[in-house]
Structure 1
């Protein structure tokens, strides 16, 4: 999913900067509270949200896989962990379990290893790509159940949203969750306010949209945005370099093993998908080492 558009008026909420100034806005949590309420499918409004610091690293960029976003707690001591995933990551559920169990272990340790009256943990994953190819629904909420679909435990709840599966048009959107997902998926493609759906005038969404409106940004905010783009581009470049280095090591090992097995240069070249010169250079190095 392309989240940067040079012609767009609005910064994508899916970007690291966009997420930080909307979901991660510590000065005004109006949007975050309403968004979390929608994501956990609760009819009860969240009154207050406090960001958890020092225990988990919030708002840091991992360009290889996604953005680890926020950890926070509401007035009822419900804990929330939100993870944004922009690229393909087959083991995403395992990472969600890791974050949720980290929070669980922290609670147990603070309670002197007592397990009664533990707070609820909501681990929320918002994904730009699909990770459940056999499931049609864009929204899934999971707790521990038995083989009769009866709830065994709901202290830890896992919620996933797959943006690619969301295809509703504005005329069909009714719930706050649908409004949220539509906004996250499409806002950066809009150029003028005349294109706004009616529900973007709701206070919680209006505040989020204002934060990512390039025309409403101060010089300092625009500088912060440009720096975020630059940092992300550098991170991607460095990560790609690491990937290429790993591939080079793998190809070198493959060719080395193939040569030691007595395969011809042509066979080694085809096996590792490298040039004949690459194979010859490896053979020369092996000869020098003998």
Structure 2
């Protein structure tokens, strides 16, 4: 991800420096209040262990991008996803239900006083059929009436947010606008609300001009590690795509109903690629 004066909040480094800032939780607390649409300020947050072990030998373990608990015992799970993730809802259900099971297993509960669990997903791409960028989901009846609010799923799809500065009013709008545009904004184009204390503190953490030598070195290490991870992921995708194309071409060759040129055109590959697969089949 290209970086100007400000490091993107949605980058690995940016997320940890703002949402995951244990030394100063004002931004996180205000953001949480906006995301869950609560009128009650969150005054304290305790950062929880963000990894969990499998409950059984056959089940999966995992790691959250961030997990925390407020002063009322409400539990928050944060996940950030920059790539396309059509099945992300299933991942959030897995995480939220694991958190629920952990609470139940401890035995420190009764069904009348279970703590609220908020599973929050911030996505760069779109995955839901709704047009609004912020979705709050609870267990509902077929008439749309809420049955349970103990577990809430909140999804923010950044690609759907298109408000201009003049249209922004709520803290939720300010948060999402900042997440989407900060790293592409010049200091001379500051919207007035970026001077609000909760946002100002977060933006200061992402201002490359204010970084210490140690912070610069850490940012460079994180950026390099992320670049390697992206490179490896792209390689996996390319290998998977090549495997699919190879399988498709091989099937068409075995059917024997199309010419080499037609197979190449239909499969989106070169004639030489088809001929190479054909030679491999003959050898077998």
| Pair in the same fold by TM > 0.5 | yes
- Structure 2 distance, partners of 1:179, 1:46, is 18
Q: 1:284 to 1:169 in 2, by over 3 A?
A: closer
The answer on whether the counterparts of 2:76 and 2:118 sit within 8 Å (CA) in structure 1 is: yes
Kindly indicate whether the alpha-carbon contact (under 8 Å) linking 1:144 and 1:152 is maintained by their aligned counterparts in 2. Answer: yes
User: Does structure 1 residue 123 correspond to structure 2 residue 119?
Assistant: yes
Residue 148 of structure 1 deviates from its aligned partner by 3.0
Unmatched 5+ stretches in structure 1: 58-66
Q: Deviations over 1:170-199 (max 9, x none)?
A: 33322211221121122112222x422222
Instruction: Measure how far apart 1:211 and its partner are.
Output: 0.4
Does residue 233 (structure 1) correspond to residue 231 (structure 2)? The answer is no
SS at 1:12's partner residue? coil
Regions of 4+ moved over 4 Å:
112-116
Match of 2:175, SS state, is helix
Q: Number of aligned pairs?
A: 274
Give unmatched runs, 5+ long, in structure 2.
54-62
Give the 3 Å change call, closer, same or farther, for CA 77–91 of structure 1 in structure 2.
Answer: same
Q: What corresponds to 1:158 in structure 2?
A: 153
Q: SS at the partner of 1:156?
A: strand
What's the counterpart of residue 62 of structure 1?
none
Q: TM-score, structure 2 length as denominator?
A: 0.88
Q: Residues 86 and 127 of structure 1 are in contact (CA less than 8 Å); yes or no, is this contact kept in structure 2?
A: yes
Q: Secondary structure at the match of 2:65?
A: strand
Q: CA separation in 2, counterparts of 1:75 and 1:235?
A: 36
Distance 1:275 1:27, change over 3 A: same
Aligned to 2:268: 273
Aligned mates of 1:288, 1:195 — CA distance in 2: 65
8 Å CA contact 1:80–1:121 kept in 2: the answer is yes
Matches within 5 A, 1:108-257: 108-111=104-107, 115-133=111-129, 135-192=130-187, 194-257=188-251
Write the mapping of 1:67-86 to structure 2, written as runs, cut at 5 A.
Answer: 69-86=65-82
Q: How much does 1:101 deviate?
A: 1.3
- Name the CA shift for 1:270/1:204 in 2 (closer, same or farther; >3 Å): same
The whole-number CA distance in structure 1 between the counterparts of 2:247 and 2:78 is 39
Match status 1:262 vs 2:260: no
Deviations 1:54-80 (A, max 9, x none): 5449xxxxxxxxx95211111211111
Distance 1:210 1:282, change over 3 A: same
Higher mean C-alpha displacement, 70-79 vs 258-267: 258-267
Aligned to 2:17: 21
After superposing the two structures, state which structure 1 stretch, 123-132 or 20-29, moved more. 123-132
Contact between 2:117 and 2:151, CA under 8 Å: does it hold in 1?
yes
| Structure 2 equivalent of residue 63 of structure 1 | none
Give the structure 2 partner of residue 43 of structure 1: 39
- Alpha-carbon spacing, 1:50–1:241, altered in 2? closer, same or farther (3 Å): same
Match of 1:61 in 2: none
Asked if the contact 1:108–1:115 (Cα under 8 Å) also holds between the matched residues in 2, the reply is no
Cα 1:253/1:83, change in 2 over 3 Å: same
